[in-house]
Structure 1
Amino acid sequence: MMHPKPGLARLALLCASLLCAAPAVAADTPSSRLLPPAPALPDIYSWTGIYLGVQAGYSWGQERTAFSDALGRAFNGAAFRQSSDSALGGAHAGFNLQTGSIVLGIEGDVEALDAGETLVAPAMTGRVKRDWQASVRGRVGFAMDRFMIYATGGAAFTDFDYHLYDAAAGLSASTDRSKTGWTAGAGVNFAYTDNLILGAEYRYTDFGKVNAAGSGPLLGLTVRHEPTTHTLRASLAYKF
């Protein structure tokens, strides 16, 4: 009986060992390890869309009013600076279009307020009052996901009511003037949810010079009014 040579036996044993170890080595290679899928990135908030909302705030300012009288009455040339402070509230609507981080928009609002002051001159009492204001403005914003800062500016509208009383003659007259001015400011918005947007805004408004002429018994009287206001507002809007 022939016995295999020792060298051949060792070679056969080595080959068998390598064949058995190959699957284990392959299982341990990096390419065989499966990594878990990467989590999905959160969606960036889009400010594009139509929105409707409400706002409330406070308006303040110092306004100059002067009386002129072509008939030479005692109050001619009397001038005053009076307060126009008032709480206010109203509604607004607008549309935003976002391109990258830039948000372009247009917005309109209307508000009720109770701004008024009584002026007293020699032999003359005057009252200036307004109870509404509105604006149409453009907006340019910079968005950081759900947070946006913006600048705004455009046209402002209101109506002034004047009541004048001549104590010496016992005569009175009332008149009103609609006026267009300009308004500008800045604000911040935060998208609390995909639809609810919180906001805060400051605006300065200038209605220029308002001239109101007396008629009837106060013919010859002119009131020159220079109203400017500062306003802070908080808002809540729904984006569709």
Structure 2
Amino acid sequence: MRKIITLGLAGAFALTAAPAFAQDMAEDAPFSGVYVGGAGGYDVQPNDIGSSILFDRNLDGRFNDSVLTGTGANAFGTPNGGFCNGRATGRTSLTNTAQGPGTCRNDDNGYSYYVRAGADHQTGNIVVGFVGEFGKSEITDSVTAFSTTPAAYVMTRSIDWEASVRGRVGFAANTTLFYGTFGPGYAKIDRSFFSTQSVNTFTGSGKKRQFGITGGGGVEQKIGKNFSVGLEYMYHQYQDDDYRVRVTGAAGTPFTNAANGGTASGTDFRRSDDQFRWHSVRATAAFRF
């Protein structure tokens, strides 16, 4: 009977001590475990000062040609031709004062929103883990060429969706985590073209999935046992150097004139800035299991 009573007391002690031990472990490592959550904020991109559109007139794959008029002048030269890092605002000339100032507007920044899941392991003050996320940014990035005819030619790219898987390393001060994060990204880039000119035919638009890099850092604050909120900065960069627009039709135009260095098969366009990049500042929230 004494042994039974002793075993019973030992079992009761174990049952009452286990939750307390688990609570102590949770308090000692508040950022260990699996979590799901989301992130949302505002994305800002550099305006790519000096960006332009490059031309391949003889379709040899080298974009170092000048498009010439029938008189041999540069069809995109001054005073009314040239380039701007943004989308044309309905005008067809870069500097024609009769059309007013502000021919181009800056690239569009926008909101972003993501869902995420991850896992962390905390040892002392050090936290290591990973996070994966999927979401959308509303930014658009354009560049415009103005010809002396006059006409505007606009190449634009935007993000249909973006996914990433990143490592995460941080330092926890009680229930506050300071961390850095870095890893590969994978995005669907939507490329489009628009021109105010209707004499020629323009072909080349579409979407492409592209690998890139993402990285940044932030701070996360535990709220209660299972919830945390935070603030995060992220940088995104994707190579986008293979988008082409071909100009055909209307024989004898600057794009199809074979008599002054071009070819009747047309001219190819591409952007000079081959990096699609932007910055994100966003709030985060997570539920930790």
- For 2:199, what is the secondary structure of its paired residue? coil
- For 2:85, what is the secondary structure of its paired residue? strand
182-191 or 209-218, larger mean C-alpha shift:
209-218
TM-score, scaled to structure 1: 0.73
Q: Counterpart of 1:201?
A: 232
Q: How many angstroms does 1:209 deviate by?
A: 4.7
- Write out per-residue CA displacement over residues 136-195 of structure 1, whole angstroms, 9 at most, x where no aligned residue: 110001112211111111112222222223515342331333222212211111110111
Q: Is contact 2:119–2:130 with CA below 8 Å preserved after alignment?
A: yes
Distance in 2, matches of 1:159 and 1:78, equals: 30
Q: How many angstroms does 1:221 deviate by?
A: 2.3
Aligned pair 1:221/2:285, yes or no? no
Aligned pair 1:236/2:275, yes or no? no
Distance in 2, matches of 1:151 and 1:98, equals: 15
Q: Is contact 2:45–2:278 with CA below 8 Å preserved after alignment?
A: yes
202-211 or 102-111, larger mean C-alpha shift:
202-211
Letter in 2 for 1:115: I
Q: Counterpart of 1:169?
A: 199
| Distance verdict in 2 for CA 1:177–1:63, change over 3 Å | farther
Aligned pair 1:109/2:133, yes or no? yes
Q: Structure 2: where are the runs of 5+ without partners? A: 1-22, 58-65, 68-74, 87-106, 249-265
- Write out per-residue CA displacement over residues 8-62 of structure 1, whole angstroms, 9 at most, x where no aligned residue: xxxxxxxxxxxxxxxxxxxxxxxxxxxxxxxxx9743431111000111011012
- For 1:212, what is the secondary structure of its paired residue? coil
Distance in 2, matches of 1:109 and 1:151, equals: 16
Identity, % of aligned pairs?
25
Letter in 1 for 2:283: A
Letter in 2 for 1:98: Q
Q: Counterpart of 1:66?
A: 52
The CA RMSD over aligned residues, in Å, is: 2.7
Aligned pair 1:159/2:188, yes or no? yes
Higher Cα Rg, which structure: 1
Distance in 2, matches of 1:178 and 1:119, equals: 21
Distance in 1, matches of 2:40 and 2:243, equals: 30
| Distance verdict in 2 for CA 1:208–1:162, change over 3 Å | closer
- Larger RCO, structures 1/2 (Cα 8 Å, 6+ apart): 2
Distance in 1, matches of 2:175 and 2:114, equals: 25
How many residue pairs align between the two structures?
A: 201
Q: Counterpart of 1:142?
A: 171
Q: Structure 1: where are the runs of 5+ without partners? A: 1-40
Letter in 2 for 1:146: T
| Distance verdict in 2 for CA 1:81–1:87, change over 3 Å | same
Q: Of Structure 1 and Structure 2, which has the larger fraction of its residues in strand?
A: 1
Q: Counterpart of 2:6?
A: none
TM-score, scaled to structure 2: 0.61
